[in-house]
Amino acid sequence: MKAIIALCVLSFLVAGCSAANVVCYFSSWAVYRQGYGKFSPQNIDPNLCTHILYTFIGLNPDGSVNILDPQAAIVDNEFQDAVNLKSQNKDLKVLVSMGGYNENSYTYSEVFGNPTLRAYFVQNVVNFLNQYGFDGFDLSWEYPNSRGGIPSDIQNLVLVLNELKAALGDRTLSIAGAGLVSGIDDYYDVPSVSKVVDMINVMSYDYHGSYDQRAGHPSGLYASSLDVTDVQITLNVNSTITHWVLKGADKSKINVGLVTYGRGYTLANAAQNGLYAPTIGDSAAGPYTATPGMMGYNEICQFDQNWQYVFDNEQRVPHIINGNQWIGCEDINSLTEKAQYVKDNSLGGVAIWSLDTDDFNGVCGSGKFPLVNKIKSIIQ
């Protein structure tokens, strides 16, 4: 036994035997939700995750940090409440994430492409972390060389990451990485990005949505036999992660993105309700997230038995149906398989979006944060 422990200690020093990452994002805007959906950092179990990520802060055109919601973040103490979680778990890291889909990619291109603005940006990030006590920085630029970006974004991303890493010292640096295989090719110099960051939080979800005009699952683990084109067969977690590794990402730095929400549709014909059935728009909004086409697990788990549960044995994920409403989602079964996939492939861990759509109040009878707890129990 002593020999095994000694070997593990030695392996740990060389980067083995370390616990898998359980990176947990939370939506700062969830504090405005109603009823049991209202979420703040005070709802977070400080021993649940290895890393907590506050989303989001933004980027100003002059390279300064934009606090998108100063009322919630500063006046109502969301920053401080998130950072204070560390007082209950000395190993917990609390990071702040900049970007998100609503940010203008053009601003990132302009700032990161200008050496003077880039240097000012890096110093602003360091000052921000020092001021509020965060342990690191996550860049969620969606996406370089896309949505208003330019080809030079690819190398400018590498430049800014290297400058950030040098300035951050032993603080954590991560990025949110694209889930689409084509995006991995178009947005990144993968080996260079992988070399400098501590973690790549891969957004291996949202492969389908109402824009497809057909009912597709947002986060299948594998392809369906109904996926026939070169693009369709890549719209799944396994294809995404395989491609990141193929392009040169360090497996130990890859955190597989897992979601605690579903994407929903209104079917064109309630009688035609299989995978990829025609749709006419988003599903109805839920009581907490209040967003058509999106439903948190904390909403789904309260549905009554009028909903039909279907598990796709090829994609290894469930969808649920009620009349003309069709929602592709996750549950304990599908996330168990995904967590095992992470473990079997010796990946760095998981990046969960998000804590605020798990059943964090435990209203459905399986305890608080049942999905995240199940994931953690498998990979750690």
In a domain? residue 315:
no
Number of Cβ atoms within 10 Å of the Cβ of 329: 25
Task: Determine the pLDDT at residue 24.
Answer: 99
Task: Determine the pLDDT at residue 3.
Answer: 41
pTM of the entire predicted model: 0.95
CATH number at residue 237: 3.20.20.80
Residue 40 exposed, middle or buried by CB count within 10 Å (0-12, 13-18, 19+): middle
In a domain? residue 134:
yes
Distance CA(207)–CA(205), nearest Å, equals 5
Task: Determine the pLDDT at residue 7.
Answer: 39
Task: Determine the pLDDT at residue 39.
Answer: 99
The pLDDT averaged over each successive group of 10 residues in the chain (380 residues) is 40 55 99 98 99 99 99 98 99 99 96 99 99 99 97 99 99 99 99 99 98 97 98 99 99 99 99 99 99 99 97 99 99 99 99 99 98 98
In a domain? residue 347:
yes
The total number of structural domains that make up the chain: 1
- Spatial neighbors of 281 by CB under 8 A, at least 6 apart, are 210, 265, 266, 292, 293
In a domain? residue 336:
yes
In a domain? residue 374:
yes
Task: Specify whether the CB–CB gap between 42 and 72 falls below 8 A.
Answer: no
Q: Which domain holds residue 249?
A: 19-260+330-379
In a domain? residue 299:
no
In a domain? residue 294:
no
Q: Is 110 among the residues known to form the active site?
A: no
Indicate left, alpha or beta for 256 from its phi (over 0: left) and psi (-120 to 50: alpha).
beta
In a domain? residue 44:
yes
What share of residues in the chain are helix, strand, coil (percent, to 5)?
Answer: 40, 20, 40
Task: Specify whether the CB–CB gap between 65 and 125 falls below 8 A.
Answer: yes
Rounded to the nearest angstrom, the gap between the alpha carbon of residue 329 and the centroid of all alpha carbons in its chain is 15
Q: Which of 78, 103, 110, 142 is catalytic?
A: 142
Task: Determine the pLDDT at residue 322.
Answer: 99
- Spatial neighbors of 105 by CB under 8 A, at least 6 apart, are 141, 142, 143, 144, 146, 147, 148, 149, 153
HSE (side-chain half, CA atoms, 13 Å) at 53: 29
